[in-house]
């Protein structure tokens, strides 16, 4: 297949450089579809300049509801000239533009996928997922992105509290991990009994979404960490098995 696609991603100091679950959703889709592409790395402070240089439109606004919020992923399809941001929008664009490749949002399931993603994020907000991951994420970033990430996350998610001070410790930490396990238990209940994927035996964008978030723990804490070992064993080992099953689509190109 001849196509030229660029996926813009935020680098880290980790071996693969890739870490963001939102961008990994797109990487899963590109690799699953077998679409040739390349990754271009952009530090957090340079994302707005990238959008303006390319003439791309932001897909979200800041809390004021007016100012554009420039974020990644961003996909540039050089064969059509399209610039698409937001993981789900990119998945829909690739399904529509390259219909000869496997679909990730099957016909008739668009509304389902919108609802699934909203439900998943709602559960994560309840679980205060950010308290367990923000400081760890920041320590994995390059110096060029650390100040930006700290400043914006402390203001938007932590009410001015320092990232390090938000990390739960001792009994509180155990409670937060137990709370997160309970939240994942609610997601587990969405699956049909014995089903491998959200839609049964067929992989869809919903599975890539879940796996990207689960894989985040493996990426941040390390494959040999107690944190990842715990998450991978939750709910009969569903989450570890899912990430392992989709591992072949993780490749960073």
CA dihedral 221, 226, 228, 233 (to 10 degrees): 180
Domain ranges of the chain: 5-110
* Residue 216 contacts residue 134 (beta carbons within 8 Å): no
Burial status of residue 130 (CB atoms within 10 A of its CB: 0-12, 13-18, 19 or more): middle
Binned at pLDDT 50, 70 and 90, residue 158 comes out as confident
CB under 8 Å to 62, separation ≥6 — which residues? 68, 69
The model's pTM is 0.95
Mean pLDDT of the chain: 94
Q: Looking at the predicted structure, is the pLDDT value of residue 125 above 90?
A: no
Residue 128 pLDDT more than 80?
Answer: no
* Confidence class for position 19, pLDDT limits 50, 70, 90: very high
- 3-class SS at 83? strand
Distance CA 72, CA 6 (A): 12
Strands (E), 82-229: 82-85
Q: What is the pLDDT of residue 66?
A: 85
Q: Helix (H, G, I), strand (E, B), or coil: what is residue 76?
A: strand
CA distance 13 to 221: 13
pLDDT, tens digit, for every residue of 21-37?
A: 999 999 999 999 999 99
Lowest mean pLDDT among 43-52, 77-86, 155-164: 155-164
Give me the mean pLDDT over the 150-161 stretch: 91
Q: Give the class (CATH, top level) of 5-110.
A: alpha beta
pLDDT at 127 over 70: no
Q: Give the pLDDT confidence of 178-236 residue by residue, as tens digits.
A: 999 999 999 999 999 889 999 999 999 999 999 999 999 999 999 999 999 999 999 99
């Amino acid at each position: 297949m001849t196509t030229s696609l660029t996926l813009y991603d935020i680098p880290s100091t980790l071996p693969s450089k890739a870490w963001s679950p939102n961008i990994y959703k797109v990487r899963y889709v590109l690799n699953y579809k077998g679409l040739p592409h390349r990754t271009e790395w952009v530090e957090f402070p340079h994302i707005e300049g990238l959008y303006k240089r390319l003439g791309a439109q932001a897909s979200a606004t800041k809390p004021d509801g007016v100012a554009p919020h420039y974020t990644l992923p961003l996909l540039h399809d050089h064969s059509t000239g399209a610039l698409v941001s937001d993981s789900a929008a990119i998945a829909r664009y690739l399904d529509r533009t390259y219909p000869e490749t496997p679909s990730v949002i099957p016909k008739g399931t668009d509304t389902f996928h919108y609802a699934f993603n909203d439900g998943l994020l709602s559960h994560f907000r309840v679980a205060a997922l950010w308290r367990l991951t923000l400081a760890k994420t920041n320590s994995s970033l390059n110096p060029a992105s650390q100040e930006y990430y700290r400043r914006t996350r402390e203001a938007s998610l932590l009410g001015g509290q320092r990232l390090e001070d938000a990390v739960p410790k001792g009994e509180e930490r155990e409670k937060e991990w137990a709370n997160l396990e309970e939240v994942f238990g609610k997601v587990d209940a969405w699956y049909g009994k014995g089903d491998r994927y959200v839609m049964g035996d067929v992989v869809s964008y919903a599975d890539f979404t879940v796996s990207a978030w689960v894989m985040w723990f493996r990426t941040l804490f390390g494959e040999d960490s107690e944190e990842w070992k715990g998450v991978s064993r939750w709910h009969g080992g569903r989450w570890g098995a899912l990430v392992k099953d989709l591992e072949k689509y993780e490749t960073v190109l």
